[in-house]
DNA sequence: GATGAATGAGTGTTCATTCAT
DNA sequence: AATGAATGAACACTCATTCAT
């Protein structure tokens, strides 16, 4: 799957498009998955209707059960596909080959832009958390994707530290969560935020402004403390124990 | 959670609590609302079951329709109550009376702690966005809550600017969204994050660590650019029990 | 209640209208009955809603049960009131005092006009038949009304026979059923008839035309066989208007 | 009732009747329709229970929604089927090929006998009028059935006129309504009529007597005025336009 | 592989009626 | 007499899933 977004935004055509309704397992599977992503994104697991997915994908309802077992199996497949897409796109950034500052900035901007382009990822993630990750937890495929990703960020941070560009001791998970958080919250909750603040938050200008803001926030945090551009004696532990 | 979270906003108890099932409209209404908040939080609007809410609240199902019209009416009532609770708690912080740095830090810590103590707020918010704020948008009551809140933050920022503590031109909405984002994403998506990163993110230590991180990130951003700032007094311990 | 139409078409005001909501048993009862007639007429026994009757009559729902026992009791009361009204109006025609031809013609015209003015009578009657007269059969009051009515018509027919105006042996019940039928079917089924025949059957012209037709049909039947009759003076237009 | 009344219109049996509950869409549809006709006839649209229809027809309740959309859709289908049945039976009378007097007499007798054999038609019609023909009006199929029917009667009347058998200017719609009325009212309201007149109106003798009465009434009306068996100068217009 | 008919356990909602005040 | 809260049994309709072809 070369894809990354062969779904919401640009269906890639099969090279030899056969007559519709004919036997073409791969095509049938993909059609179901595409329709399902749309439906689960819009309605959540509970709200999604198997009938709707069947009719939108143009395949017989029975095929869904044939390929994915049941509704939950289909949901899990959508989840894996969606997570897989973002992680694979991140691999394409070749962060390991970049200068620390460039690497981080690239990651921040990519993440923000990906969230703008892929609302289905945000929706699915929010929905899966309502189910306390019950389904994601079953997926070994997804778990395997993240370890190398975090390793890459960690290396970037360590290199930046040594170069005196970043403050010491930054945790890659903590940092990535913050990068994602600043974009996710804004996009995923755009409807309630626009409502309570009485401002349309997703105009091109607003989006550009938010992107710049996110970069500023993260870079300000990464910069070594002002007092001494050399590493500060004070180190804080992002997780437990505490220094004392 | 001391009392702040008597569920949705802390209804005061009736002076003479009578036996349940008796004639007590206020109590009946509250019982329904409490059970509904739990159910909508756990299952979303679609997944929630009216029967479950009825049996958990110990009232006859018919009463739900009597007091709230229908399931959606009940959902909206829960939404209003929940939003109202956090905004009212924020009022109690008396941010307008505080020094800029103290005010902002108080807001950050309060927000983080509130999200920890009130998972129902996070869930409801996520769910409401799946519905594109269809219900929240109907509520005039909720909209009215936010204008003064943003005004207060704006004043805090302006005062901090003049004192040379904060960088110039920070937008209150943008800042508040970031403060909320850093906590919201972590708590709301704790299940998927814990899964993909293979780390339990909600141990007391982890929570404390995240709190410290959030404070650091936000304060680093607020500080005026290095060229013209006086070194900030390093302050820490944004975690621990803290004010709340 | 002097009634005869103090319901659908001209509520008679109480002489001393007291403040609404006050204690006035008679007024409460009448208010319920009026609202109930409207509701049962429009929706039938099954379709009628006790709540609707209560709110339309402006009395508490409990009062309905107080005065009429239950929904069926109220329905029966409406039924009795409605039947009673038409029979009492017929008494006012003083058929016994009229010449045979005048008497019959008066009866035909009265019946037709009554059906036009009292759609509630038609509806209730149709509805009661769907229930196979289950409720009407319980009413002794209604049964007692009809015997004298048929006697009157019988006498009219016998007098007309002797005068050589009517054919011999006409059965009063059969005749009355036909008189009622020709008007009832037209008015009661006006909606389906207008639909299938693509013609609005209840314009003033159409109603006048139908009235004339009914008189013609019945009088043609009443006339003695051609061999031994004196040509009837051709009379038309049962009331006013004329064909137009 | 020979076969004319295989319920709603006389569906032809499947050549190889399979065991019930098997896969046989046509049979399932018919079974639902038959049970529904019974239920709507007995209880009306509001009073009818979908569960009852399902269990009586021996099909799963879900099938009703599969084939007819909802309760109202099923009701409309029953309505169409029922109207269609009587109009199709009328076509079989071949009125256009008959002598005027024979044709009219045949129509009168057929109508009367049809009403006796098909109480469901009467009930449905009465019920549909309580809804002000809301459903019938949606049916184009039904509307199309009536125009040719009225044309046929009109031709019959015109031929009779020329032969000096019928009075001039009789309106086919008006006449047909009267023919139907004289039978409909008697049969449809048999329960209330039997009650108030204290006479069982549906014994074989009574039915035969009523049939004879209806023929007499209609034929008396059709006959040219007595004064001149040749067309009378006096012409009355039962509908509009005026005599002139 | 593919189809659409068939199923049974729910789902939100309504209703006549009663109870406590 | 009058009120409005409370109730439980339905009711129309839905849904994921399976079966026969």
Q: Which of B177, B216, B231 sits opposite A221 (nearest CB)?
A: B216
Chain D: residue whose CA lies nearest to C235:
D236
**Closest nucleotide to the alpha carbon of C72, via C1':** E16
pLDDT at site D22:
55
CATH number of the domain at D79-244, out of 3.40.50.300, 1.10.357.10, 3.40.50.720, 3.30.2390.10?
A: 1.10.357.10
- Would you list the DSSP string of D76-122? HHHHHHHHHHHHHHHHTT-GGGS-HHHHHHHHHHHHHHHHHH-HHHH
B216 and A198: CB-CB below 8 Å?
no
Q: Which of A180, A192, A196 sits opposite B185 (nearest CB)?
A: A180
Cα separation, B186 vs A174, whole angstroms: 9
Express each pLDDT in B124-177 by its tens digit: 999 999 999 999 999 988 888 898 999 999 999 999 999 999 999 999 999 999
CATH number of the domain at D12-69, out of 3.20.10.10, 3.30.70.260, 3.40.50.720, 1.10.10.60?
A: 1.10.10.60
The answer to whether C89 CB is within 7 Å of strand E is no
Top-tier CATH class for C25-228: mainly alpha
pLDDT at site A54:
93
Judge whether A126 and B130 are in contact, CB under 8 Å: yes
The answer to whether B43 CB is within 7 Å of strand E is no
Top-tier CATH class for A20-69: mainly alpha
Count of residues making up chain A = 244
Of A113, A138, A141, nearest to A128 (Cα)?
A: A138
Cα separation, A85 vs A98, whole angstroms: 22
Report chain B residues whose CB lies below 8 A from the CB of A243. none
Fold of B93-244: Tetracycline Repressor; domain 2 (1.10.357)
D47 and C46: CB-CB below 8 Å?
yes
pLDDT at site A27:
85
Express each pLDDT in A94-142 by its tens digit: 999 999 999 999 999 999 999 999 999 999 999 999 999 999 999 988 8
Query: CB within 8 A of C217, min separation 6: which ones?
Result: C182, D178, D217, D218, D220, D221
> Which residue has the least CA–C1' distance to nucleotide E18?
C62
Question: Domain B1-82 sits in which CATH superfamily?
Answer: Homeodomain-like (1.10.10.60)
Q: By the CB < 8 Å criterion, does A195 face chain B? A: yes
Q: Which of C125, C174, C213 sits opposite D189 (nearest CB)?
A: C125
What are the helix (H) ranges across chain A? 25-47, 50-57, 61-68, 71-91, 100-117, 119-130, 140-162, 172-188, 190-197, 204-222
Cα separation, D148 vs D151, whole angstroms: 5
pLDDT at site B225:
82
Residue A194 has pLDDT above 80, yes or no: yes
Express each pLDDT in A38-63 by its tens digit: 999 999 999 999 999 999 999 999 99
Domain boundaries of chain B, sorted by first residue = 1-82, 93-244
Judge whether C178 and C222 are in contact, CB under 8 Å: no
Query: CB within 8 A of C35, min separation 6: which ones?
Result: C52, C53, C54, C56, C57
Cα separation, D102 vs D95, whole angstroms: 9
Of C143, B129, D184, B203, nearest to A187 (Cα)?
A: B129
Q: By the CB < 8 Å criterion, does C181 face chain D? A: yes
Q: Classify B31 as helix, strand or coil.
A: helix
Give the B window 64-93 contacts with A, CB below 8 Å: 83
Cα separation, C229 vs C233, whole angstroms: 12
Residue A21 has pLDDT above 80, yes or no: no
Q: Out of B55-59, C167-171, D161-165, which region has the weakest mean confidence (pLDDT)?
A: B55-59
Q: Classify C152 as helix, strand or coil.
A: helix
Give the C window 136-165 contacts with D, CB below 8 Å: 136-137, 142-143, 145-147, 150
Q: Classify D3 as helix, strand or coil.
A: coil
Strand E: positions under 7 A of a protein C-beta atom: 1-21
Judge whether D19 and D31 are in contact, CB under 8 Å: no
Yes or no: is domain A72-222 CATH 1.10.10.10?
A: no
> Å from B174 to nearest chain A CA?
7
Q: Straight-line distance from CA A62 to C1' F17, in Å?
A: 9
Report chain B residues whose CB lies below 8 A from the CB of A142. 195-196
Cα separation, B39 vs A175, whole angstroms: 33
- List C-alpha distances in Å: C154 to A74, B148, C95, C141, C172: 81, 87, 11, 22, 5
Common-topology check for domains B1-82 and B93-244 = no
Express each pLDDT in D66-89 by its tens digit: 999 999 999 999 999 999 999 999
Cα separation, A214 vs A212, whole angstroms: 5
> Which residue has the least CA–C1' distance to nucleotide E8?
D60
Cα separation, A102 vs A97, whole angstroms: 10
Residue D18 has pLDDT above 70, yes or no: no
pLDDT at site C227:
56
Report chain B residues whose CB lies below 8 A from the CB of A137. 191, 195
């Amino acid at each position: 799957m070369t894809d990354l977004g062969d779904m919401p935004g640009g269906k890639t055509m099969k090279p030899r498009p056969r007559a519709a309704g004919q036997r073409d397992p791969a095509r049938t599977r993909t059609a179901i998955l595409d329709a399902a992503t749309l439906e689960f994104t819009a309605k959540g697991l509970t709200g999604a209707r198997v009938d709707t997915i069947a009719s939108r994908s143009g395949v017989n309802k029975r095929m869904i059960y044939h390929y994915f077992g049941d509704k939950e199996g289909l949901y899990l497949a959508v989840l894996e596909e969606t997570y897989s897409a973002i992680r694979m796109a991140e691999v394409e950034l070749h962060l390991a080959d970049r200068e620390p500052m460039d690497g981080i900035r690239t990651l921040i901007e990519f993440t923000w832009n990906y969230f703008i382009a892929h609302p289905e990822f945000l929706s699915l993630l929010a929905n899966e958390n309502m189910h306390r990750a019950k389904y994601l937890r079953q997926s070994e495929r997804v778990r395997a994707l993240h370890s190398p990703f975090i390793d890459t960020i960690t290396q970037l941070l360590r290199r930046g530290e040594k170069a005196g560009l970043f403050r010491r001791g930054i945790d890659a998970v903590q940092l990535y969560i913050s990068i994602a958080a600043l974009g996710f919250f804004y996009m995923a909750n755009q409807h309630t935020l626009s409502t309570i603040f009485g401002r349309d938050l997703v105009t091109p200008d607003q989006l550009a402004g938010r992107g710049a803001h996110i970069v500023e926030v993260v870079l300000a945090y990464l910069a070594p403390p002002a007092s001494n551009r050399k590493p500060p004696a004070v180190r804080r532990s992002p997780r437990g124990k505490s220094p004392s």
